[in-house]
Amino acid sequence: MVTDSAPTVNDTRRELRRPVASIALPFLGSRGEALQPFQYLLSDVSSDGLGIFLPDWLANRERLWEGDRIFFHIPFRFGERVLNRGHVAWQQWSSDEGGQRVGATLTSGSPLPYPLYIAVDEREIRIDLGRFVTSEALAQRIIHDSVLLKRGVLIYLRHLEALFSRVSDLRREDYRVFREEIIGDVRQRLQHSVAYLEQFDPRIAGQPAPASPITEAIDLDEFRAAMEPELPLELFHHALGAESTSLYLESIKKLEHRLYLNHNAYVMLYIAALAP
């Protein structure tokens, strides 16, 4: 999804800001221990928590319920604290708006992967370019890191495939179907995602320098699809079941968690760099 107002991220400003109220693009969140992905719009942020909206028109929807554990995959900064996960406090379906309104608390967080966050007190996105020469350089770093993360998932999949024939409890015919139809499909989609991201990574050997800023070249819908998980973790866990494979699946889950963070970091950069 590239618009006519796509930002030029060769911006020489050392800090980019954008009010939360102006955000109209969806972020990726995930629900529960399985990190089930969903898209959401950020509608409000305060010291009491977050307000998000899940409209019907989003491509990746998930119904949320009170008590659900949510990873928002966005760093929210309260003074010196950085939080990015919490629980659904309340939810309400709005027929008039065509979607679900959700209120959530923020309970915990993790270190900032990149120098960008949402400042809760000021209700705005803040990006401190710091050691990055331009915001384009930061965008390139996010894409490059994402390529490495997706390649990491592909490597773990290859390890799982090698282990599969030795540890699976499936019957011979079920094993053949799972290997050819499930693993084969996942591998193909992973390779497609890697190839999509690699075309925007100037650090890849032989890759020509981009003629325009990354944010003018990337379609946001295609980018989201490439960053979302290809592996149905619960299905793999059920089919494989052994402790050795569970370790690989947990490692894949950690890489997917970081990919959600990278997706939202890129979207935040895109939003903050838009012309006022």
* 81 has pLDDT over 60: yes
* Residue 137 neighbours by CB under 8 Å, 6+ apart: 129
CB 104 within 8 A of CB 89: yes
SS3 78: strand
Q: Strand 69-78 and strand 116-119: pairing?
A: parallel
Could you tell me where the beta strands, DSSP code E, fall in the chain?
15-19, 27-31, 36-46, 49-55, 69-78, 81-94, 99-108, 116-119, 124-128
Amino acid at 101: R
Q: What is the mean pLDDT of residues 205-229?
A: 83
* pLDDT tens-digit readout, 114-136: 888 888 888 788 877 777 878 88
Domain ranges for the chain: 17-131, 135-263
pTM of the model: 0.86
pLDDT at 39: 94
- In this predicted structure, which of 45-54, 135-144, 200-209, 213-222 has the lowest mean pLDDT? 200-209
Residue 262 has a pLDDT of 96
Q: What is the tens place of the pLDDT at every residue in 154-167?
A: 999 888 877 776 65
Task: Please classify residue 36 by burial: count the beta carbons closer than 10 Å to its beta carbon, then call 0-12 exposed, 13-18 middle and 19+ buried.
Answer: middle
pLDDT at residue 15 tops 90: no
3-state helix/strand/coil string of 209-251: CCCCCHHHHCCHHHHHHHHCCCCCHHHHHHHHCCHHHHHHHHH
97: phi then psi, degrees, rounded to nearest 5: -90, -15
CATH (residue range 17-131): 2.40.10
Tell me the per-residue pLDDT of 233-276, one tens digit each, with 9 for 90 and over: 776 766 666 566 778 888 888 999 999 999 999 998 888 777 55
Angle at CA 179, nearest 5°, toward 258 and 196?
A: 40
